Structure 1
Amino acid sequence: MSDVIIERPVEQLTEVEASLNYLVPTGVKPSSYAYEPPPGVPRRTGEYRTHAVKIANARLRPPPAGLSLDRNGFELHRERSAVSDYSDEASIRSAYYAQSERLLIQWTGANRVVIFDHTLRDDSASRSGGVKEPVHLIHNDQTFVSGPRRVRDHLPADEAAQLLRGRFAIVNLWRPIGEPVESSPLALCDSRSIDARDAVAQDFIYPTMTGETYAFVHNAQHRWYYFPQMSPDEAILIKIYDSAGDGVARFTAHTAFDDPSSPPDARPRRSIELRTLLFF
């Protein structure tokens, strides 16, 4: 995969300091519901604590070697979206899925892409119709247990068994909607700065199944980055799982955060994320 970093000389701050929400390790496995839980059951368990961290402006101060999906766990690309009306579910699943599949093959070198779902997010109080709010807890969408399970969930058994013998990855494609991001931007952690012991598996409960995601405990060695003022013509690839070894980034951590440099009248952040299986 090629190293990709988009330069847009519109931001001056090389870094910001912000509070990120880390899991407090208690020895008890946390859980979270993907839907409204039964009466009396908390939507989420686990204790979280904020830690002030430096988040580097990846446009102005990327790592010396640049950023890449396979080295750092994320990278930025520029490509205009094939759709403008994200309230049209049919358009998302036809035009946007088709474009994203083509771009993921182009950007990653994958032989095949399977898009298995998407989520719309809106930071305003007026969101409705299944649109979710940005997640302000540090997380990764899969674990080493649930990653291979996703292949079995979305492909016929024989085909899945064959594909699992080769390299595959789970990658999210994240894009702003409508306007540049002025609030709740995405912070991404350099995969190389994450110790395996920082990741804590938590149950993610659906109506018909229970999956797993990673929460993260604080580690002062974590190196965080963000892309200020992302436009709808830009997209981030985020490594969620990779079956490869040999120094390839296998996952990373990410979270929305309150940017202290956001203007007082910042517009609510709107975004779409696709979750995809990549086969190499």
Structure 2
Amino acid sequence: MGLQETRIESLPFVTAELNYLAPISGKPRTYAFDPPPGEPKSTSLPEPHQVPIFDARLIANNISLDREGFALVRHPTQVKDFYNDEEVRAVYYPAVEAFLRATLKADRVVIFDHTVRRRVEGAPDIRDGGPRQPATRVHVDQTAVSGANRVREHLPDEADELLKGRVQVINLWRPIRGPLRDSPLAMADGATVAPEDLIASDLIYPNRRGETYSVKYNPNHRWFYFPEMTPDEALLLKCYDSATDGRTRFGPHTAFVDPTTPADAPPRESIELRTLVFHKQ
């Protein structure tokens, strides 16, 4: 049974502000470094909307990565220090790779990077300039173009053959400490997101240009979260799927300010792994 058949309105919810993309002429762009003189850091301006965000814990078993574009999983970890890159790569990477292969029935999983975030009140989100901050705009990490390009970027010698099969970009996101009460993630039900809601946006690096989706507001969007996640839990977030058979291909998500967060709640600490998932067809 999918969420379309579930009585969503009976679930607990919070009302919170989500930052969508404000109307813009031209393709939005954001610099991942100090922009050239006279250029703004970003042409993507936020358009905040108050929306209900439903507690999905009671319906977690009805949520499907293929249908809704996200899923809650139980995934205990042996990692002692997520701020230790060597330990993350030596211990966490192989464990997540094996977990995703089994969970998604994939032929191959390749982890291409990870990001640790620690919220610092008032701090900007600067790459290589202090702890990364929660991403507070509705977005999808990849697009129809950049998802396939990730394969060419990370596996250039195999890309042509791999792209003949089904390719996904899946993020595995988890809190480092919990229960998490500060800056949780909200996920949109992909079945409520229209293709025209997704706006390809340039992310400009010193040596390359990436592409993500910003998201326009649509009152049909339906949002969910899993309150008080523990370090033994993780979220699977679909950022790209080459399959075009009707399943959700892109899952919008964002951090948000939960109005029920206690004033003394510890700031959010989290880690996300970005992975290429391959299925032979």
TM-score (norm 1): 0.90
C-alpha contact (below 8 Å) 2:197/2:216 kept by paired residues: yes
Q: Tell me how far apart the structure 2 counterparts of residues 278 and 85 of structure 1 sit (CA, whole Å).
A: 26
C-alpha contact (below 8 Å) 2:178/2:228 kept by paired residues: no
C-alpha contact (below 8 Å) 1:14/1:60 kept by paired residues: no
Any idea what the Cα deviations from partners look like across 1:17-69, whole Å, max 9, x if unmatched? 0010011222321111233434554322222211110100000355xx81010
What's 2:52 paired with? 54
What's 1:277 paired with? 276
What's 1:25 paired with? 23
Q: Tell me how far apart the structure 2 counterparts of residues 254 and 109 of structure 1 sit (CA, whole Å).
A: 24
Partner of 1:170, secondary structure, is strand
Q: Tell me how far apart the structure 1 counterparts of residues 173 and 96 of structure 2 sit (CA, whole Å).
A: 11
What's 2:205 paired with? 206
Partner of 2:54, secondary structure, is strand
What's 2:104 paired with? 108
Partner of 1:72, secondary structure, is coil
Question: In the comparison of the two structures, how many residue pairs are matched?
Answer: 267
Partner of 2:58, secondary structure, is coil
Q: CA deviation at 1:275?
A: 0.5
What's 1:239 paired with? 238
What's 1:8 paired with? none
Q: Tell me how far apart the structure 2 counterparts of residues 43 and 120 of structure 1 sit (CA, whole Å).
A: 22
What's 2:136 paired with? 136
What's 1:173 paired with? 172
Of 44-53 and 96-105, the range deviating more from structure 2? 44-53
What's 1:264 paired with? 263
Q: Tell me how far apart the structure 2 counterparts of residues 56 and 153 of structure 1 sit (CA, whole Å).
A: 37
Q: Tell me how far apart the structure 1 counterparts of residues 130 and 36 of structure 2 sit (CA, whole Å).
A: 18
C-alpha contact (below 8 Å) 1:110/1:279 kept by paired residues: yes
Q: Tell me how far apart the structure 1 counterparts of residues 38 and 261 of structure 2 sit (CA, whole Å).
A: 37
Any idea what the Cα deviations from partners look like across 1:186-229, whole Å, max 9, x if unmatched? 00000000000000010011221001000001000001000000
Identity of aligned residues (%): 50
Q: CA deviation at 1:248?
A: 1.3
Q: Matches of residues 19-98 of structure 1 in structure 2 within 5 Å?
A: 19-38=17-36, 40-61=38-59, 66-98=62-94
Q: Which amino acid in 2 is paired with 1:93?
A: R
Q: Which amino acid in 1 is paired with 2:253?
A: H
Q: CA deviation at 1:130?
A: 4.5
Runs in 1 of length 4+ with deviation above 4 angstroms? Answer: 125-130
Q: CA deviation at 1:265?
A: 1.2
Q: CA deviation at 1:252?
A: 1.1
TM-score (norm 2): 0.90
Unmatched segments (≥5 aa) in structure 2: 3-10
C-alpha contact (below 8 Å) 1:84/1:178 kept by paired residues: no
C-alpha contact (below 8 Å) 1:74/1:188 kept by paired residues: yes
